[in-house]
A and B are shown apart, each in its own frame.
Chain A
């Protein structure tokens, strides 16, 4: 069993203080990843001396969606995200991702920050936030820095977060004008199921054409990334020019380009292609295009 001393912080300042003064500190938020890892005696946490509970730090909580910019506190739980009327109205794909995570009990404790910092390849919060072009605010006693979410993960379960830093919040630009989105997830059962594949599509449209688009997949690549080739293919195209099936093929090729042929490729290739095709079709339909 891993032996550690539990510390509780009640303000952001206290968190930063402790992170500066003490070594071998592991932050504890909802605990739905960390407590499981500790139970399983994950070697990654063998050497920790302290667990720093931040669940009481009010500064790290809350959702603020302005007309231009939005932010989500790291400690915001998935339950809070999915029940937020603002999220539902303006960023429904974030709510959809949140509601697909774990179970009611898990969502009540699990935080979006924990999901990102834990950085599992199948973590469901990445693709919607990458689609938004989100940045993370990482803070230590000396100040804060911003990291683009797609640059945050180095490889599964390994991020650029430093030992003395805390993830404070996630910031992003709000999509503008007419925009449409979708979130899809494939799991092995209908609930409490990690993603075999997931997908977010977010598009700003104008005059029956795509102005800006982000297609991002989860669990398809070791670290979630936007599908640049698909985005390139779709950007600035008029609806009439778009072939959803082709978009799917491009995405699948791009995935295999990143991962190489893996044991799971024979499944993931056609399935991802299909998810992308559907997301594009849905987008066209939602945008009122029926050509």
Chain B
């Protein structure tokens, strides 16, 4: 099968890539770009471990073909930390003990970031809606909500 040329921006860096027709965005990130922070938990859109941000929206990268997002801007968990340190969301996840095994964490962070980018002062209900597609089997979610609330507060100032 012929390969497809695509150009995507991942965490600010532009990549010209050749991708296969069946190649999912998740595969491109993990296998071509060796960015393994994005996780695969179910491959069918149910768990949210593969969540990344495509053009400001949280999406399941297991359900998107890379060629479909040619020209897009993508943010992954690897893009959160900057030279000035950890992102307020990352700090809040640490501070609030919102992490146990950590497998859901990258996806949680991406869903939360997509939310705060468009809605810097979310209600608890809005946080839940933003994270309803991210399963976590360890934490029972409470400390994750606490962390997003804290990040929203810190980030606001």
Among B27-35, B43-51, B74-82, B146-154, the stretch that binds chain A is B43-51
B73-132 residues at the A interface, CB under 8 angstroms: 111, 114, 129-132
Task: Determine whether the beta carbon of B133 is less than 8 Å from that of A102.
Answer: yes
A109 within 8 A of B: yes
Query: Which B1-27 residues sit within 8 Å CB-CB of chain A?
Result: 1-2, 4, 21-22, 24
Is residue A51 within 8 Å, beta carbon to beta carbon, of the partner chain? yes
A3:B22 contact, CB within 8 angstroms: yes
Tell whether, in the assembled complex, residue A104 and residue B67 are in contact, meaning their CB atoms are under 8 Å apart.
Answer: no
Cβ distance A11 to chain B, nearest Cβ, rounded Å: 16
* 8 A Cβ contacts from B42-81 to A: 43-46, 48, 51, 57-60, 62-65, 67-68, 70
User: Which residues of B have CB within 8 Å of A51?
Assistant: 21, 65
Closest beta carbon of chain A to B49's beta carbon, Å:
11
Contact present for A5 and B63 (CB under 8 Å): no
Whether A8 touches B132, Cβ cut-off 8 Å, given contacts A31-B65, A109-B59, is: no
Contacts of A30 in B (CB 8 A): 63
* CB-nearest residue of chain A to B44: A36
- Any chain B CB within 8 A of the CB of A39? yes
Instruction: Flag A245-288 by CB within 8 Å of B: 1 or 0 each.
Output: 00000000000000000000000000000000000000000000
| Cross-chain contact of A31 among B1, B64, B70 (Cβ < 8 A) | B64
Please indicate the chain A residues that have their CB under 8 angstroms from the CB of B133 in the complex: 102-106, 191-192
Which of A8, A103, A108 has most chain B Cβ within 10 Å?
A103
A105 contacts which of B1, B43, B51, B70 (Cβ < 8 Å)?
Answer: B51
- A-B contacts, CB under 8 A, total: 88
The interface size of chain B toward A, counting residues with CB under 8 Å, comes to 31
Cα of A39 to Cα of B46 in the assembled complex, Å: 13
| A159-192 residues at the B interface, CB under 8 angstroms | 191-192
Contacts of B4 in A (CB 8 A): 6
Are A32 and B65 in contact (CB-based, < 8 A)? Answer: no
Residue A207 lies at the interface, judged by CB distance under 8 Å to chain B: no
- Given A31-B64, A51-B21, A104-B58, A8 contacting B70 (CB threshold 8 A): yes
> A290 an interface residue at 8 Å Cβ cutoff?
no
- The interface residues of chain A lying within 8 Å CB-to-CB of B21 are 3-6, 51
Taken together as a complex, chains A and B put the C-alpha atoms of A104 and B63 apart, in Å, by: 14
- Give me the 7 closest cross-chain CB pairs, A-B, nearest first: A103-B133, A191-B132, A6-B21, A35-B63, A108-B57, A105-B133, A36-B44
Residues in A lying within 8 Å of B, measured CB to CB: 1-6, 8, 28, 30-32, 35-36, 39-40, 51, 53, 55, 79, 102-106, 108-109, 191-192
Query: Would you mind naming 25 contact pairs between A and B with Cβ atoms under 8 Å apart?
Result: A1-B22, A3-B1, A4-B21, A6-B65, A6-B68, A31-B64, A31-B65, A32-B60, A32-B63, A35-B62, A35-B63, A51-B21, A79-B57, A103-B48, A103-B132, A104-B114, A104-B130, A105-B60, A105-B133, A106-B133, A108-B57, A109-B60, A191-B133, A192-B132, A192-B133
Name B residues whose Cβ lies closer than 8 Å to a Cβ of A.
1-2, 4, 21-22, 24, 43-46, 48, 51, 57-60, 62-65, 67-68, 70, 111, 114, 129-134
Given contacts A5-B21, A28-B65, 11 further A-B contacts (CB under 8 A): A3-B22, A5-B2, A6-B65, A35-B64, A40-B44, A53-B67, A53-B68, A55-B68, A103-B45, A103-B48, A105-B60
